[in-house]
Structure 1
Amino acid sequence: MKNIDSSFESKGLRCAGTLLLPGQGECPPVIVMAHGFAGVRAMLMPHARRFVEAGYAVYLFDYRSFGDSEGQPRHWVDPFRHLEDWDAAIRHVKSLPQVDGERMVLWGTSLSGGHVVCMAARGHRIAAVIAGHPLMSGLAAVAHMPFLKVLRLTLAGLRDLAGSLIGRPHYLPVVGRPGDLAVLTGPEAWGGMQQLQAIVDGPWENKVLARVALKIPRYNPIRKARGVRVPTLVIAGANDSIVSAQVARKAAGRMADARFTLHASDHFQPYYGDFLEENVRTQLAFLRKQVAL
């Protein structure tokens, strides 16, 4: 596997990217991957390695304000900013001579699972989409939370916006245990993120700008699902307490050419262990059908 640093610019800031190439073959199909909520691209390496071993090129990138990318303040999750980064990443990968940009697959998980649906609906020339455990409705995710938590998150978001005017942003934990004031507090959140941290070769901070609480309810990729015309694999988890498998199934039903698969996993299990292997097998079978090597 060949590893090449390959950054690009999004709205005047450098986004860090890594191009992974298989040992054999010229101009292979390329899978463009970005992590979900408040993650970094290193967390996707277990998936990426298996794709490269199967003969595909992979391009991983960090959003602005995350990982090795530029951007201040740090830890700024905004799905609408993320979509700008995706637009720029797709243009960048299309320009790379080492890969076949006409056989491009967009791969997203959790929050970025919704992003790749939005990208496909925008009409980018791509071959296929893989959306794993995707957030298809921010409104549905918030509606599932207890009212008191929603209120506390909203107040924290307003505090962050007010503090940003004087250079004092306010942060929340990304994950917490049930009952904590954190963005993700499902039963699997704390232990699942610990598993992901073990993958990362370097520090990861459990913090995110609280203003994200004001943006997520407005982000609903399911509304774009009817615009997706390319073959799409949607994978959901029957035990996922973070995003709704039912909403993911509904979104897949609106797409022109979608396959919906339900695994017995929670939100984090697809990244490691037996569920990682099951997840990769499902995705490789889809890729073999849709993107010829």
Structure 2
Amino acid sequence: MTAHSIASDFESEGETCAGTLLLPAQVSPPPVVVMANGFGGTRAAALPDIARHFVADGYAVYLFDYRNFGDSAGQPRHWVSPRRHLADWKAAVRHVRNLPGVDHDRIVLWGTSFSGGHVIETAARDPGIRTVIAQVPHVSGVASVLQVPLHISFCLMLAALRDQLGRAFGRPHYSRIVGRPGEVAALCSAECWDGYARLIPPGERWENKVLSRIFLELPFYSPARSARKVKAATLIIAGERDSVTPAAAARRAARRIANCEFHLLDGNHFELHLASEAVCRQSIALQLAFLRRQFAP
């Protein structure tokens, strides 16, 4: 099924967020899947390949970039912040609820990695959300931080303090998003360097950096704490070999959601993002089957 692509931006706290609506042919009005990327990612990284599977199955897909990333406005650039991201998700859902040509009663929140936590948190705050898909989600700040070697966490914390000090003088300090094992970066386990690189399409304007202030927030951002408030039908998919967002934490979060389906697949964090990988296609098949059950007459 061929997708019709429409640019559709929205405002979040006074800044413009770039969005793209993909519409399937011969389905009117289709359910709509709202998607945004994880830690430091843009909507161009891996998400279009996954979105095509949803469009082929008759769903509209709305992809957006957070403020300060990708094609969205906002300064300084590369600002990861749970509070800001959640405000962008709220604004994106409000925007989709006003879009013509889609079914406003059948909105699906789809998140992966860091945004996998965002969709859980957003659904907990918005009782109108009926369906959520969270793939390899960040659900526990402590669990994610413990995946990083202690000496690297210490260096990142120092960088965060330097960034906070620099804010007062308009001199932000950046850290690397991804590095090789032993290097100072937010993501530095064995799978990360090559795995993250495979997400970035050729020609994409992506930089391997993030404002260091996030490392003061990250340990305290745990969407699992809000999981019991989620009323939406939820699907959580975790990777058995995930060294970024541990599967055990995802399973614990799933148990707190009243109507939640959990699957553990034999893959690492980044393989679950890559439609060229068999485990990603297995994940997508589970997601489509889940949605068919939710939206069956």
User: TM-score normalised to the size of structure 1?
Assistant: 0.97
Q: Alignment partner for residue 171 of structure 1, among 168, 171, 174?
A: 174
Are positions 1:223 and 2:245 aligned together?
Answer: no
- Do the aligned partners of 1:42 and 1:200 also contact (CA within 8 Å) in 2? no
Quote the residue 1:276 is aligned against.
Answer: 280
- Do the aligned partners of 2:130 and 2:231 also contact (CA within 8 Å) in 1? no
The percentage of aligned residue pairs carrying the same residue is 53
Are positions 1:57 and 2:60 aligned together?
Answer: yes
- Do the aligned partners of 2:147 and 2:244 also contact (CA within 8 Å) in 1? no
Q: Alignment partner for residue 99 of structure 1, among 97, 102, 109?
A: 102
Q: What displacement does 1:78 show?
A: 0.3
Residues 215-254 of structure 1: pairs in structure 2 closer than 5 A:
215-254=217-256
| 1:114 maps to amino acid | G
Q: Deviations over 1:57-90 (max 9, x none)?
A: 0000000000000000000000111000000000
Quote the residue 2:37 is aligned against.
Answer: 35
RMSD: 1.1
Q: Alignment partner for residue 212 of structure 1, among 211, 214, 217?
A: 214
Residues 64-83 of structure 1: pairs in structure 2 closer than 5 A:
64-83=67-86
Q: Deviations over 1:85-129 (max 9, x none)?
A: 000000000001110111000000000000000111113412210
Partner SS for 1:27: coil
- Do the aligned partners of 1:127 and 1:291 also contact (CA within 8 Å) in 2? no
Q: What displacement does 1:146 show?
A: 2.5
Where does structure 1 lack aligned partners over 5 or more consecutive residues? none
Partner SS for 1:60: strand
| 2:288 maps to amino acid | L
Are positions 1:123 and 2:100 aligned together?
Answer: no
Where does structure 2 lack aligned partners over 5 or more consecutive residues? none
Are positions 1:9 and 2:11 aligned together?
Answer: yes
Residues 117-196 of structure 1: pairs in structure 2 closer than 5 A:
117-196=120-199
The separation in 2 between residues aligned to 1:87 and 1:196, in whole angstroms, is: 25
After TM superposition, the runs of 4+ consecutive aligned structure 1 residues lying more than 4 A away are none
| 2:62 maps to amino acid | Y
The separation in 1 between residues aligned to 2:39 and 2:292, in whole angstroms, is: 28
- Do the aligned partners of 1:249 and 1:260 also contact (CA within 8 Å) in 2? yes
The separation in 1 between residues aligned to 2:100 and 2:128, in whole angstroms, is: 17
Quote the residue 1:203 is aligned against.
Answer: 205
Q: Deviations over 1:235-290 (max 9, x none)?
A: 00000000110010000001110011001111100122212211111111101111
Partner SS for 1:136: coil
Q: What displacement does 1:201 show?
A: 4.5
The separation in 2 between residues aligned to 1:25 and 1:10, in whole angstroms, is: 30
Partner SS for 2:186: coil
| 1:281 maps to amino acid | A
Q: What displacement does 1:143 show?
A: 2.9
- Do the aligned partners of 2:148 and 2:187 also contact (CA within 8 Å) in 1? no
Aligned residues: 292
Q: What displacement does 1:200 show?
A: 5.3
- Do the aligned partners of 2:137 and 2:250 also contact (CA within 8 Å) in 1? yes
The separation in 1 between residues aligned to 2:169 and 2:152, in whole angstroms, is: 26
Q: 1:195 to 1:144 in 2, by over 3 A?
A: closer
Q: Deviations over 1:121-142 (max 9, x none)?
A: 1134122100000000012211
